[in-house]
Amino acid sequence: MLKRRVTTLSGRAAAVIVAMTAALFGTSIAAAQQGPTSPIVVSTNSGTSLLVDGIEPEKLPAGVAAGAQVCAPAPRVYKSEGERFIFQQWSDGTTDKCIVPTKPGAYRAIYAHEVLVVLKSTAPGVQRSMWVPFAEPVKLEVPSLVQQTDDSRFRFDGWSDGETLFERTNQIAPVKPTTLEGKSTPRTSCVRFMTSNTSSRRTARSAHSSTTGSKTAATSSLKPRPSPTSSQSRTGWSSNAGTAWMAA
């Protein structure tokens, strides 16, 4: 009899402990694991998770209890080094990262989806990277000529991908991290100088008159040609592809 009474008391104590545990911790667990049949449903368009009273639901959409705090985990969520989601707002217009919904309905965290585009080029000052909207047309533009030094420059030749491969303006709509190359040909200014180094010469001819027997000396002179510093002509730009233009 005594043994049965002790067992009964132990069972009651265990029930009290379970009830106290549920009272202390059960609210958050229930809020995070509530099924989508709950009148308050939260979700996101990013594929990333949410936090319900600090706990990550097993899956989304998830039903939550009224008064539960639902938060976007961070302003920026990186899926990889070249893909990210940036929090914008909740579907009810709230721009705070956390909300406490009390009215039945669907609450959706809206993110902007971006991918990284890397523009590669051997021309100085052209290579760069940028975050662009996912699957939306993006206009890219590079200069046709890039001056490197006084006697060298790069000329744009074409793109490695895109809609207009041989124009310096191009357009892509990336759905993943993308590396695009703007191909350029280095060109070197080769300046050739043509000089003349001929000294002035003077010749004299003598003419004899058979009728008078007199001798007449006649001399003629040639104008001196310009010195090397006064006669120079530049022939133009040249490269491994040949001469691009001529300038005198």
**Strand pairing class (105-120; 178-189):** parallel
Q: How do the domains of the chain map onto residue ranges? A: 30-114, 121-189
**CA–CA gap between residue 192 and residue 167 (Å, rounded):** 32
Tens digits of per-residue pLDDT, 112-159?
A: 999 999 999 999 999 999 999 999 999 999 999 999 888 899 999 999
Report the candidate in 23, 55, 25, 26 with the shortest Cα–Cα distance to residue 42: 55
Tens digits of per-residue pLDDT, 146-186?
A: 998 888 999 999 999 999 999 999 999 999 999 999 888 88
- pLDDT on residue 93: 96
Query: Around 134, how many Cα atoms within 13 Å sit in the side-chain half-sphere?
Result: 13
Contacts for 212 with CB less than 8 Å, ≥ 6 apart: none
pLDDT greater at residue 14 or residue 193: 14
Instruction: Inform me whether the pLDDT recorded for 28 exceeds 50.
Output: no
- pLDDT on residue 151: 86
**CA–CA gap between residue 165 and residue 190 (Å, rounded):** 30
Q: Which of 45-49, 69-73, 181-185, 193-197 has the lowest mean pLDDT?
A: 193-197
Instruction: Return the number of other C-beta atoms located less than 10 Å from residue 185's C-beta.
Output: 16
Integer-rounded Cα Rg, in Å, for the chain is 43
The SS3 assignment for 183 reads strand
Instruction: Inform me whether the pLDDT recorded for 228 exceeds 50.
Output: no
